[in-house]
């Protein structure tokens, strides 16, 4: 089962830190002047401030975290013919997609996979695993690169950030309402907020964030289909289908959880697990290319 991607994990951590910090410094002015009722307008504004701040910080950190977490070696001066070809291929496909050539890196992994990340279309990173480079032919590698370039061209990282910001806003908003309810109804606090409000709010925030990731994962699955189709237009549907088939037959595992959201691999998940999967099954992706490519 695919778990929370690095972006979601980072976002949750930053959100938690921001929430606790604002609470400690008394910035959360969420009560009416009477000190009893919630000021929903103020709460919504504060929730949006925390929510979008957390999301955009996650986006700005995404490329740096990807490099550190995955151990990506950035290739600037190619050491062999393969690296020369890879850099030229990325440059050519980026040019066809009308975006700046992203940074290119290789990470050491026995799993065939790749990912793209970055704060903007013109400040991004594409990375391939050593296993993918060693086990795919050049047509298939070209298709994988085109898939990752498509994520960048389509602005998926920024769009996910905006969606996450909206989700964060409502997670903060409803977690505070739950905390207020517990404080007033269960612990009978009459004015202000007691410790139960803060503790309950943080617990509710974590649980709601996990549930809300279902929405982000749904978006991620939709964008995988779009990236496949865009890649098919850039390099040809036969190459994209061949790459997916190779992934299906040779790769038994997915990209480590930290970078799952923008990886290329995917396996069929069943039951509730599919709700938390960042990728559709490879079979359904091939089906989509054949129907729409």
Q: For residue range 204-263, what is the model confidence (pLDDT) as tens digits?
A: 999 999 899 899 889 989 999 999 999 999 999 999 999 999 988 765 444 444 444 446
Each residue's pLDDT tens digit, 141-196? 999 999 999 999 999 989 989 999 999 999 999 999 999 999 999 998 888 888 99
- How far is 72 from 236, CA to CA, in rounded Å? 28
What average pLDDT is seen over the chain?
85
3-state secondary structure 83-145: HHHHHHHHHHHHHHHCCCCCEEEEECCCCCCEEEEEEECCEEEEEEEHHHHHHCCHHHHHHHH
Q: Which of 83, 148, 224, 287 does the annotation list as catalytic?
A: 148
d(CA 177, CA 173): 7
pLDDT bucket at 7, cuts 50 / 70 / 90: low
- Is the pTM above the cut of 0.85? no
Give the pLDDT mean for 263-268.
Answer: 55
**What's the pLDDT at 194?**
87
What is the rounded average pLDDT of the residues 59-67? 89
Question: Could you identify the residue written with the tokens 């790459």?
Answer: 243
Task: Tell me what pLDDT residue 256 has.
Answer: 45
Query: For residue 234, what pLDDT is reported?
Result: 96
For the ranges 43-57, 116-130, 136-150, 199-213, the one whose mean pLDDT is highest:
136-150
Domains of the chain, residue spans: 6-66+158-213
Q: Measure the CA–CA gap between 76 and 42, rounded to whole angstroms.
A: 49
Assess whether 148 carries a catalytic annotation: yes
């Amino acid at each position: 089962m695919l778990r929370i991607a690095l972006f979601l994990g980072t976002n949750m951590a930053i959100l938690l830190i921001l929430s606790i910090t604002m609470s400690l410094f008394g910035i959360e002015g969420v009560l009416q002047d009477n000190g009893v009722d919630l000021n929903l307008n103020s709460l919504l504004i504060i929730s949006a401030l925390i929510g979008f701040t957390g999301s955009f910080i996650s986006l700005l950190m995404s490329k740096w975290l990807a490099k550190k977490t995955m151990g990506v070696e950035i290739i600037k001066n190619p050491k062999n013919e393969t690296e020369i070809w890879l850099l030229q291929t990325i440059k050519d496909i980026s040019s066809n997609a009308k975006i700046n050539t992203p940074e290119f890196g290789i990470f050491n992994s026995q799993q065939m996979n790749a990912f793209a990340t970055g704060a903007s279309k013109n400040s991004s990173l594409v990375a391939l695993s050593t296993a993918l480079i060693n086990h795919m032919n050049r047509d298939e590698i070209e298709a994988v690169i085109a898939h990752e370039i498509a994520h960048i061209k389509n602005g998926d990282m920024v769009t996910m950030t905006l969606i996450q910001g909206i989700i964060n806003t409502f997670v903060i908003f409803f977690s505070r309402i739950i905390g207020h309810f517990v404080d007033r109804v269960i612990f009978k606090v009459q004015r202000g907020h007691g410790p139960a409000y803060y503790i309950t709010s943080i617990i509710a925030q974590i649980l709601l964030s996990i549930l809300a990731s279902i929405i982000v994962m749904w978006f991620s699955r939709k964008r995988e289909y779009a990236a496949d189709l865009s890649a098919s237009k850039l390099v040809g549907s036969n190459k994209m289908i061949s790459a997916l088939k190779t992934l299906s037959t040779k790769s038994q595992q997915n990209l480590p959880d930290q970078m799952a959201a923008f990886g290329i691999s995917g396996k069929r998940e069943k039951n509730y697990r599919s709700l938390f999967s960042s990728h559709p099954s490879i079979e359904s992706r091939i089906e989509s290319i054949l129907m729409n490519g």
